[in-house]
Structure 1
Amino acid sequence: LELAEKVTNSEDEILEKYLRLTEHRIHAHRLRCHGDFHLGQVLFTGKDFVIVDFEGEPARTISERRIKTSPLKDVAGMIRSFHYASHTAFRTQSGDLQGTLANSSEVQAWLAVWYAWSASAYLKSYLAKAVPSGFLPDRIENLKLLLDCYMLEKAVYELGYELNNRPDWVHIPLEGILQLLDK
C-alpha cells in the first residue's frame, strides 16, 4: 500500500518525464521491433540463442503493433525483465516466497546488485553494436530520455497487468516506477 501511495503521489513527476519528450526534436530512426521483448522470448538451443514470439504486445491491436518505433522500446523491455528476474528469484512455482531468506535485506541488496549489473552489461553490449549503425538518437541525453520513458511506459503497463492477473506481484512494477523516478 505504501508503494502504491508513493507512485500515486508521483503522478506529476511521471507526466513531467513524458512532457520532456515534446520539448525538443530527437533525431533517431524508427524500426519494426519485437514489441514484447523479455527474457521469456529468448531461448537457448544449446549452442545459440533464438528470439521467439514476434507478434508484439498482446494487449495492443494488430495495427498498433505494426507501427514502427525506437528499438530502445525492446531494450527497455529486456531491462525491465532483468528487474522481474531479480524479484522472482526466490519465488516458488505458485508465486510464494521461499522462506525468510528471500525477505532478508542482505539478499535483497545482492539481488539489486545483480539487476544493476545485468542491466548495465546488457545495455553496454547493445549500445556497442547499435550506436555505430546510426539508428539510435544522436545525443546521449536523448538516448537516456527515450530509454527512461520506454522503461517507465513498460513498468506502468506491468502494473496494470499485475493488478489484473497477479495482484501479489504489484510491488515489482511499483518499485520499478519509483526506481525510475529516483525515489
Structure 2
Amino acid sequence: GRYYEEVLTHRAEAPTPPAFEGPLLAAVEDELPARAREWISLYLEEARLLGQRTGELHVALASDPVKPELAPEPVSDFSRQALYQAMRSLANDTFSVLRQRLAGLPTAIREDARKVLELEGEVRNRFRLLRDRQIAAIHLRCHGDYRLGQVLHTGKDFIIIDFEGESAKPLGVRRLKCSPLRDVAGMLRSFHYAAYAALLGQVPGARPEDFSTLEPWARFWCRAVSAAFLKGYLPAVASASLLPQAPAELGILLDAYLLDKAIYEIGYELNNRPEWTQIPLKGLLELFETER
C-alpha cells in the first residue's frame, strides 16, 4: 500500500527503520521518530481510535453485574488452569500437524516452520508462566472473533460488527467468558496479517523482489500500530479494572493470548490456506525475537 510506497521512495535516505524494540507494553510510552510518524500518521490515529472504541466496548460488556450470562467474573485458579490446559492442548495438536506437513510446505515456508518447531519447548514455558502465576484479572463476555474484518470504518469512526464468535466453535464454547485481552490479541494479530499479506503477495501491495527491503519496515509498522491501539485501549478500560494492575501480570496474560492466537492461525492456515501459513509462522517467531 501507500506505506510501502513511501518506504521504497525514501530507501536511500532511510534504508532501515528506526530502532523500536523492547516489550510491546513499554512501547506504548515511546515516541516514534518524526519521519516514521509522518509515513504512518493516519494509521496511528485510526489504530488509537479503534483501541479506544474496543476498550469502550469491553467496559459496556462488563457493565451488567446482574445477568449471570453477562456479569464479569474474577479469574479463579480453576479458570486459569483450564485456560492453560486449553492453550497447551491446542499447541500440542498444532505442532504435531506442522511436523507432519513440514516436508510438503514450499521451501520459504518450510524454513520458518522448522524454526517454529524448534521453539516448541519455549512455547510450553511461556504458557507455564500463565499456569504458575496468580493473576488478578476479570473474565467477561467478549467479541470472540475480533479482527479488522469485524470493524467498519465510517471515515471518522468505527462500528464493531459480528458478535457471534468464531463460527467453527460450538455455541457453548463461544458463550464462555474470557479475558478481554483475547480480543486485543486478535486485533494485534490482524494488524500483522494486514502488513504481511501484501508483503508476501497474498494481496496486491508489494513486489517479491522488494521483500528483503520491506520486511523490517513491515515489522516496524505492526509494532507502531499495535502500540497506538494499546494507547487508545488501556486508558479506556482503566477505570473498570478489567485488566491486571501489575505490569508483569498484564504482560504474561497478553503474551499468552498472542501466542495462542498465532498457534491457532498456524493450524487454520495449514488446513485451509497453506500458502498463507508463513504469516502466522513469522508472527510466532517475532513473539520470541522481541521480549514482550
Same fold (TM over 0.5): yes
Aligned with residue 260 of structure 2, among 153, 157, 171: 153
Q: 1:102 to 1:161 in 2, by over 3 A?
A: farther
Superposed displacement of residue 101, structure 1: 4.5
Equivalent residues in 2 for 1:104-119, closer than 5 Å: 105-119=212-226
User: Residues 147-167 of structure 1, C-alpha deviation per residue, up to 9 Å, x if partnerless?
Assistant: 010011100110011111111
Partners of 2:281 and 2:234 lie apart in 1 by 27
Taking structure 1 as the reference length, the TM-score comes to 0.91
Superposition pairs of residues 29-44 of structure 1, within 5 angstroms: 29-44=138-153
Question: In structure 1, the residue corresponding to 2:236 is in which secondary structure?
Answer: helix
Partner of residue 71 from structure 1, selected from 159, 180, 200? 180
1:26 maps to what in 2? 135
- Greater gyration radius: 2
Distance change (3 Å), C-alpha of 1:125 and 1:95: closer
Contact 1:28 1:136 in 2 (8 A): yes
Aligned-pair distance for 1:58?
Answer: 2.1
102 and 37 in structure 1: CA distance in 2 versus 1, 3 angstrom threshold:
farther
Aligned partners of 1:16, 1:25: CA distance in 2, in Å?
16
CA distance in 2, matches of 1:4, 1:13: 15
Distance 1:58 1:163 in 2: 18
Asked whether the 8 Å contact 2:198–2:205 carries over to 1, the reply is no
1:169 aligns with 2:270: no
Deviations 1:48-107 (A, max 9, x none): 311111111222211111111000000000000000011013466x6578533542x222
2-side partners of 1:116 and 1:75: how far apart? Answer: 14
- Give matches, 1:85-104, under 5 Å: 85-90=194-199, 95=203, 98-103=206-211
Corresponding residue number in structure 2 for 1:80: 189
> How many angstroms apart in 1 are the aligned matches of 2:168 and 2:123?
22
CA contact (8 A) 1:101 1:107 kept: no
RMSD of Structure 2 on Structure 1 (CA): 1.8
CA distance 1:125–1:36, change in 2 (3 Å): same
1:163/1:96 CA distance change after superposition, 3 Å: farther
The 10-residue stretch of structure 1 (67-76 or 162-171) with the greater mean CA deviation from structure 2? 162-171
TM-score, structure 2 as length reference:
0.58
Instruction: List per-residue Cα deviations over 1:1-30 (Å, max 9, x = no partner).
Output: 111111111111101111111212111111
User: Secondary structure at 2:169's aligned position in 1?
Assistant: coil
Q: Which moved more, 1:115-124 or 1:129-138?
A: 129-138
Identity of aligned residues (%): 47
* Contact persistence 1:14–1:181 (CA under 8 A): no
Q: Out of 9-18 and 94-103, give the one that drifted further.
A: 94-103
Gaps of 5+ in 2: 1-109
Matches of 2:207 and 2:185, distance apart in 1 = 31
Change (3 A) 1:80 1:160: same
Unpaired segments of 5 or more residues in structure 1?
none
